[in-house]
Amino acid sequence: MALRVGGLTRLTTIDFPGRLAAVVFCQGCPWRCGYCHNPDLLDAAAPAALAWDEVLAFLRQRRGLLDGVVFSGGEPLTQSALPEALAQVRALGFATALHTGGMYPDRLAAALPLLDWVGLDIKGPWQRIDTITGVPGSSQRVRQSLQVLLQAGVPGQCRTTWHPGLFAPGELLELARALADLGVRDWVPQACQDARRPGSLQQAHRELAALRGALAQVFAPRASCTETAAAA
């Protein structure tokens, strides 16, 4: 079965650190996060926007021009066709990256030998993740995925998308401490918009800026901690 593709970004400089890349958006996700910025990708059975063969044809034309390919979503690990797709992309000479929420630790472990970089979304403090995703048991699976990634030694980054309506700024600081204690060395808090709260994106930026010093102290000199913005 071929990978179901919900979209393709033909060039990005920000989704795969240090590389010029394309982004393949994979159809399907088991979670229903309220701030999701790709809701059209949630339905695994939705018609594909592109055939996988079309994506491969595009990539063949970009050999020597692009460095890597990012598989994002949705949740790419939802699809059993992902490992074969990763292998095909690597056979074309591209480095591979994965953006995942961590719902499938066993599938992540199986895919890691085919990956050069992983971006792992940590949706919030462990006690908040099930509520944010709407799926019981999500938190435990994310913790397992984090351990899998740390033990494998594959380069990666954790990120947390946040606005003040999700949980308090103090809990974000507690999450930073918990991740640092587990061995995370690269963590990015991202501000996002709550559609039900006008001005929440600006408020999130302000509160993240106020926390920047405290967050840097949690990781320094062990890690990098950078704020980025992700409007949802």
pLDDT in tens, 98-148: 999 999 999 999 999 999 999 999 999 999 999 999 999 999 999 999 999
pLDDT tens digit sequence for 28-53: 999 999 888 899 999 988 888 999 99
The amino acid at residue 139 is S
Do the beta carbons of residue 201 and residue 163 sit within 8 Å?
yes
Lowest mean pLDDT among 85-89, 170-174, 215-219: 215-219
95 and 196 share one domain: no
174 and 162 share one domain: yes
What's residue 35's pLDDT? 87
pLDDT-above-70 percentage for the chain: 94
Mean pLDDT (the chain) is: 92
Q: Find the DSSP H helices in 47-102.
A: 52-61, 82-91
Which CATH number belongs to the domain containing residue 5 in this structure?
3.20.20.70
User: Does pLDDT of 228 surpass 50?
Assistant: no
pLDDT tens digit sequence for 170-187: 999 999 999 999 999 999
CA distance 173 to 129: 15
CA distance 101 to 132: 12
144 and 50 share one domain: yes
143 and 33 share one domain: yes
163 and 87 share one domain: no
Residue that terminates a domain, selected from 125, 154, 183: 154
Domain that residue 206 falls in: 158-232
20 and 87 share one domain: yes
69 and 15 share one domain: yes
The arithmetic mean of pLDDT across residues 63-75, rounded, is: 97
Residue that terminates a domain, selected from 94, 126, 154: 154
Burial of 80 (C-beta count, 10 Å sphere; 0-12/13-18/19+): exposed
